[in-house]
Amino acid sequence: MGNRQIQIITNSLDETRFLGKKTGKNLDPGTVLSLTGDLGSGKTTFVQGLARGLDVPDNYYITSPTYTLINEYPGRYHLFHVDLYRIENHADFDDIGLYEILRSDGITAIEWADKLPQDFLQEYLAIHIDIFNDESRKISMAAHGLRGENLIKRIMEKKWD
Ligand SMILES: Nc1ncnc2c1ncn2[C@@H]1O[C@H](COP(=O)(O)OP(=O)(O)O)[C@@H](O)[C@H]1O
Ligand SMILES: [Mg+2]
């Protein structure tokens, strides 16, 4: 019986980055993370931390791949950072190689994953960010599948430091 859900309040950009880093340190290869929440909620900030947790070298600056749709970074596992904000139609998923990276052993983090058709992702960790106010966010994680459950378990077991 794994823990399937966790909610964390962060009170600054750094805390969200730190949660991303902690998540990145505890990921199994092949994990897919869907990121949803309004513009400016902190999806990219979270991925910046995720990259640090995956040992992506510091000289890579992570920005939203809003126009390129996918950015790729070397790390302990390969990180694919996807942003579907500007995706026009589903045929484009093939063009950007989405099917292929989802099947890879890398980590795939998808901003605006709510643009995907329902049931497109099978196993994934859903991360939703709600804006409370200028500095506070509620970050909800829900596991869909074993990798996500393991991850949530590891995050809960470890001290918040
Ligand atoms: N607790 C917080 N977590 C994340 N970002 C925060 C937080 N508080 C304020 N911010 C601000 O919110 C913005 C988040 O931007 P970004 O990560 O690019 O969002 P998104 O990718 O969801 O559009 C940044 O300007 C950041 O400084
Ligand atoms: Mg973004």
Give me the residue spans of the domains in the chain: 5-32+44-157
pLDDT in the model for residue 37: 98
pLDDT in the model for residue 1: 43
- The answer on pLDDT for 39 being more than 80 is yes
Residues 73-83 have a mean pLDDT of: 97
CATH of 5-32+44-157, one of 3.40.50.1390, 3.40.50.720, 3.40.50.10300, 3.40.50.300: 3.40.50.300
Both structure tokens of 54: 């995956």
Most confident among 1-5, 41-45, 119-123 (mean pLDDT): 41-45
Binding site membership of 128 for ligand 1 (Cβ less than 6 Å): no
Mutational pocket test of ligand 1: of 13, 22, 132, the residue with most ligand atoms within 8 Å of the beta carbon: 13
Contact partners, residue 157, CB within 8 Å, separation at least 6: none
Q: Supply the residue whose CA is at minimum distance from atom 7 of ligand 1.
A: 13
pLDDT in the model for residue 95: 82
Q: pTM value?
A: 0.95
Q: What distance in Å separates the CA atoms of residue 55 and residue 52, rounded to the nearest whole number?
A: 5
pLDDT in the model for residue 156: 86
